[in-house]
Structure 1
């Protein structure tokens, strides 16, 4: 045995000394690194592939030759006669690679002009050039099919603004960080706001300075990435520079002198040992409140709250906005992020990233005016909230706050291994989001919660209210949290010059928690403005799922590509689903023209939030004031008694057809048509009167179809004087966005119909102009927001409602006159007589960069340069509405008092305002590179 061991040792020693290690970087002829290049030792099966940086390492025999191959590029052979061999590949046909993308296929990466799918690539510079404070708002002014907006007085929605791609809601876009799934938020949007009934990831939590680029796949991708990818995928690629960094100081203010912003961000890279790197970002920011209330109509107030017109007019004379506070909330945020990696061996690499974000947000509920909460009903309110002056009663109403503490974290640890050309990626990802709420300056007004004591004098029992004058004024209504653990194994290989394959599996475990509020926040009517989570509605739920996929790409010729993917997933709570995708691309005229298309099926599992959320909430109903209603979940005993079925997954069919052209080096254009059909769409329906009160619930209610065009064009590096000029134009045109089947298992009225299908722009265009000369860089960005339309409760049966608000129907004390229509109010039903239509507008942003030194850059941005504000007009919704518009119908008041809670939200609301709520904003930043 000793002799055999000695012989083996000598043999291995000879082999080792007869081999050599070669490393290097593979780029295209523009200097862009190429990931996924196949490198094979000639005459053997020994091979590796380049990583995301285009780097490779391989051990070969002395005197060997290396063959470098990449789909769509000319192959190159090099003699392995040095330890460092860098290679530049040229595209077949002589075209240059625009940008390498890794999103959209589980096989080899390609360029965004030769992919079979439409993909947007935004660099870090693209994002920061917008001057926007957060990542989601930067996307709003860079991606036409992306929309987001701040919503006022919507409770927890103020912590996390809803976003969507192609008007599909936040639940149908999958967010990845370095290719790994980011956790959902714990927030379920339940108010009348975009994304109602859905949830999404908190992309605003990601610090912009940590981002290298963003790849947005505008196509269904459930087959490649799993549930949530019906509308597309957003892959956020983090910075990985290890030798330099920068610090940025940002400040800003609105033209009205509020909304002050101050932030500082540090991004720095460093080496770890000899073969590792670490890039980290620390970001702190504070944004003050920007208040944009509207002027309230007195007659509308009197009708809504059953108050005397004289009292309302007296209050509004002092406070025309009814002391309402709505706009951009006060927000403080601290964000920490790291991204790193280390070469463990020649063929194995460790990688990791992690982020932690803390946000504190303070917003306000609608102000409780003294005619809404009169002292005649609650005299103790004067002791709690007496805040008048000498000329007015000490009690002048009160304004409850809604405050939230949000934490969001995610982290990934993984290993990549390359052996014989097989690329293996194994990782574990964890993530979570937690929101805890507080309500201050409020009260529990419950009258039916009492305690009994014995009067020491009379000996008789005495009923004492637990709340009202004994109520606290600060409450902890509880909160929510969501966590997941995800395991991934992905394997890929470029088998030959024609075939690439990829396959893998994913395991995901999810946890959703509803945290109980303190007793005073939910008992009786609970805290005025936001009732807490009751014990019976609180708890923790979880599920898991396992998925497997196979992806094959086949280059039939150097110009003709087909790609197919199939995926199967099994969920612990609703079973399995199998989906597939087929895509193709054909290049001709020396790669100057590319035709592409895809057909796919998809699915979206109902989130745990949608399955288990059950709560009471306050909301405003025009003409009826504030109402308390609830949500019952589909697995509750109440749902069974009402015959509400359990939720099933949504199913989708996506079709995309497009053309890309690059007739010469600096010009490119792509046009893509998409058609998305969603079956069994999950929605949160209208409130309905049942045996359990006025409640709403989720259901698979109907099928919908969304179709449109995406257009992207760019023309850069145009010589003008001593500088260079560049243009980019992109647009999204919605051709169809509507319900295509009857509503089942629910009620889905005009308001929700408009909120879902017409309250986002029907078209959106972005024209960007950039000019760089010397130390200066100028950018002019023009964003066209198309028409939107909305419907409100108060605009239904408008003729009757008009008369309701007519002061002539009330006596001197504000009581309805016997026999008047005002006396018989409350029968508002049917379709809106009028709708609000928001007029298309163009918002212009100006940016100026000055490179003061090689290290210091000063950037000034004026967002909404011309102070363009949303404008709306009435359009007919019925014959009565048409008669009102043409003047043949007698009316008394302006119907504007019937929208957006009686004009309280004249500039900040959910009903179609999708830009510029704060007017012109000035931003200044200083960036210093180390």
Structure 2
């Protein structure tokens, strides 16, 4: 029941000597130890991941693997449901995730809001893996595309499942934060069952829930509304904190059976589901565009006015929609110092069955709640063994699917007026992948050594699906429909506010496939030298073919000192989702909320965007390079030493990763300006002029009437202020050093103490910045994660008592609050401490209590907290909920 240490930690033999830890990641040989690999491989035990306060495995990894980072993502659209994680400072989809050595399928969620570093990424959802199912995690800190295929640029995470045929454990845990919120519990069980005398079935289950936390201050604008007398405004108006996670169920099964002495069959799979519910930005009842914000009006009558005494107003809708002037254009904001509606005009609107304003429904504004259901399942099966007296083989098939079904409530489709629902199903995403894999290997004796030759083939196909939402979630209601009285609608926004539903034109399925062959050679020609070389050819359906390779060597200077190094090339191709997704997000910009769309480059909207970007300034365009989407390619090398000094084992490795043509979501570009460009190019008369771009709804209506576009292709885009797309438009160089040291010593005669010190330094430089990537984004890439990160982990066992103490260091970093570098948060370095104490009450039953962030450390205060109420920056590498405590009971049998 010890909390094992990661990264080259070793188990003791029965005589107390250290036994080498055998690994299967980064090598094709079955008996290679972590100490004898040409590239660094860290080992994190299942106990290390279980003996923590966090229920989420991503949070557990960020304090077990120094180069691994994941943040809370409090208001990040779908990224709140599946949080993007980074290894070595690179995008989440630059890390390959394996389960039992087989490629894990991606999550269905694309992280449109990823803090600059993860923008547009689509990686696997590792949170569906229950920690109780993990035997050990192997982290290959090296480029491995030539060994495993696309994505393995930053490294590889290989989750090895428990495979015991007997015994098991049952555990229950409850915890909370020091603030008294964020209550959470988890129950888990694992059991190993024999399948005859030659096989096993190992089952693991986890179920838990986590309540939300609140680390907000009242927004300045909400406080002003309350001071003016608006008693309907909530306090706080906007929630910043971790979301609610409900019904978080995870199941894994692992099976193996020896059919003959040389051949075995295996299978493993999972099912997981959870519900996530979080918050969005506050909709101010005086100025939220498309819902509340009206024109300048006469302060007495509410009629539209351009006079000097005109005042801002709250928008009023004419439900008859047939004759203009039936209702005032707006309710004048004249009461409460201009923050409350004029009571006389408000009363007249309320009394009229034909006139409507959203202050009647939500007088204090509203804050949408967004979340959804995640469902994930997979099955892998195969046969492996030896044929023909020594030919190793492994033939396998894996099928995995991840589905996200979104939900939004406490919001409106403003164009429907009083008939709007306040809860919507906006639709969802699904990612389905199949992988067929054949690996062959044969060891040839050469002199006093040997050469192991491995070869194989893989075929992978994926399908990304967008499911349309409820019609009301994208409907163009009567208050936005063009009529004779209101040719461009009445200024009310369409779709579910905050997360518009996927319209029928956005729904569909898109496929991508990949076929590969590889050759991998490891040679131990002499005792002192291990050589490795690999080459892989891959051909993709949409993005051509590529060949990657890798060369590495390990030289044993002495029994206690080794030199190692590798050089490799790598690649990552766009996913079917990145190439085809259509999405609208709401962002805070220049003091207001605005809708931003993401289009495929080959869509009708994407083609307009491409032409606008590429055309000359003289012709109304931006005069920039036409955006393209294709593979990103990498060159990387590592150089390190590993050794033993007395009782201390250590490794130190330098890495350098150059990435060219990185795949990412672009920075945003003015959408109305692009439509004005199209109208001018096609000779359509509009009110477009320098300094004046009409609303998109007006321009789309005019372009449709002229036959230039099909209005149906742009459903849900009527309120867009900006657009973005996936392309390849910048290069980076990421380099750093990983240091790991382990030791084992006796503090007392009967006790055993283990200590691990792990330190990571990672620095990213943007070496080539394209025109569609902003300087803010470049700074986020370079400074958005701590360059220094590390931990000191100490465990002690004595009789029935077990203790753990861990200090975690997170260096300084930069955050662009609200994605705006004029609102910088220059976060300071912080040190957190975790502790746990366990006592074995009776044989097999342990009671433990612990604390994460024992001394209640918080990240640097947000100097711009009043803007949207965020007390701390949302990108903190250790969260911003402060300290938490937990108790756990665990019975092993």
TM over 0.5, shorter chain: yes
1:349 to 264, 270, 288: 264
What is the match of residue 829 of structure 1?
none
Is 1:729 matched up with 2:667?
no
Aligned residue in 2 for 1:714: 742
Which residue in the other structure is 1:681 paired with? 662
Specify the alignment match of 1:655 in structure 2: 637
Is residue 295 from structure 1 mapped to residue 218 from structure 2 by the alignment? yes
Offset at 1:312? Answer: 6.2
**By how many angstroms is 1:648 displaced?**
1.2
Report if aligned partners of 2:766, 2:781 keep a CA contact under 8 Å in 1. Answer: no
Q: State which of 773, 776, 800 in structure 1 corresponds to 2:801.
A: 776
SS in 2 for 1:550: strand
Alpha carbons of structure 1 residues 336 and 612: separation in structure 2 relative to 1, 3 Å: same
2:826 counterpart (826, 837, 849): 837
Structure 2 CA distance for aligned equivalents of residues 572 and 184 of structure 1: 18
Deviation at 1:573, TM superposition (A): 1.1
State the secondary structure of the residue aligned to 1:469: helix
* Mapped partners of 2:451, 2:510: distance in 1: 43
Shift of 1:267: 0.5
Contact 1:292 1:908 in 2 (8 A): no
* 2:728 is the counterpart of 1:700: yes
Q: 1:751, 1:792 within 8 Å by CA — same for their partners in 2?
A: no
Q: Secondary structure at the match of 2:54?
A: coil
Whether contact under 8 Å (2:238, 2:869) holds in the other structure is: no
Gaps of 5+ in 2: 1-9, 293-312, 317-345, 477-493, 612-625, 676-720
Q: What does the per-residue CA deviation read over 1:227-253, in whole Å, with 9 as the maximum and x for residues that have no partner?
A: 010000000000011111111111111
Residue in 1 that maps onto 2:473: 521
TM-fit CA distance, 1:612: 0.5
The aligned residue for residue 750 of structure 1 is 775
Separation in 2 of the partners of 1:403 and 1:617?
Answer: 14
Q: 2:73 aligns with which of 146, 151, 171?
A: 151
Task: After TM superposition, give the deviation of residue 473 of structure 1 in Å.
Answer: 1.5
- Matched residues in 2 for 1:768 and 1:264: separation? 26
Contact 1:246–1:929 under 8 Å retained in 2: yes
Structural mapping, 1:434-513, within 5 Å: 434-446=403-415, 467-496=416-445, 497-513=449-465
Q: Which residue of 2 aligns with 1:560?
A: 529
Q: Aligned-pair distance for 1:369?
A: 3.9
- Contact 2:238–2:280 (CA under 8 A) maintained in structure 1: no
* 1:400 aligned residue: 368
Q: Residue 381 of structure 1: CA displacement? A: 10
Secondary structure of the residue aligned to 2:786 is coil
Matches within 5 A, 1:18-417: 97-193=19-115, 194-298=117-221, 314-315=229-230, 321-324=236-239, 326-372=241-287, 376-377=314-315, 395-417=363-385
Q: Secondary structure at the match of 2:35?
A: coil
- 1:606 corresponds to 2:595: no
Q: Partners in 2 of 1:272 and 1:394 — Cα distance? A: 62
* Structure 1 runs not aligned, ≥5 long: 1-29, 34-87, 303-308, 447-466, 797-831, 874-895
C-alpha separation in 2, matches of 1:296 and 1:713: 47
Q: Which residue of 2 aligns with 1:868?
A: 857
Q: CA deviation at 1:767?
A: 0.7
> Partner of 2:880 in structure 1?
917
Looking at structure 2, the residues matched to 835 and 364 of structure 1 have their Cα atoms a distance apart, in angstroms, of 23
Residue pair 1:650, 1:678 contacting (<8 A) in 2 also: yes
Cα displacement string for residues 586-615 of structure 1 (whole angstroms, at most 9, x for unaligned residues): 0022x2001000000011011112100122
Secondary structure of 1:138's aligned partner: helix
Structure 2 match to 1:539: 508
Aligned-pair distance for 1:485? Answer: 0.6
5 Å-filtered alignment, 1:10-25, equals none
Matches within 5 A, 1:765-804: 765-792=790-817
Q: Answer with 647-656 or 633-642: which moved more.
A: 633-642
8 Å CA contact retained: 1:522, 1:534: yes
Cα 1:291–1:684, aligned 2, differ >3 Å: closer, same or farther?
same
Q: Distance in 2 between matches of 1:645 and 1:199?
A: 20
Larger radius of gyration: 1
Q: 2:233·2:365 contact (CA, 8 Å) conserved in 1?
A: no
Q: Following TM superposition, by how much is the alpha carbon of 1:791 offset from its aligned partner in structure 2, in angstroms?
A: 3.1
1: CA distance, partners of 2:782 / 2:819: 20
Distance 1:393 1:168 in 2: 45
Cα 1:317–1:733 shift into 2, 3 Å: farther
> Does residue 842 of structure 2 align to residue 853 of structure 1?
yes
Give how far 1:561 is off. 1.1
Q: What is the RMSD of the two structures over their aligned residues, measured on CA atoms?
A: 2.8
- On the 8 A contact 2:173/2:186 being kept in 1, the answer is yes
Q: CA 1:752/1:727 → structure 2, altered by over 3 Å: closer, same or farther?
A: same
Distance 2:777 2:733 in 1: 16
* Cα 1:165/1:316, change in 2 over 3 Å: farther
For residue 534 of structure 1, give the secondary structure of its aligned residue in structure 2: coil
Tell me, in whole angstroms, the C-alpha distance in 2 between the residues paired with 1:320 and 1:243: 54
Q: Deviations over 1:508-544 (max 9, x none)?
A: 0110001111121112320111101122122101121
Q: How many residues align?
A: 744
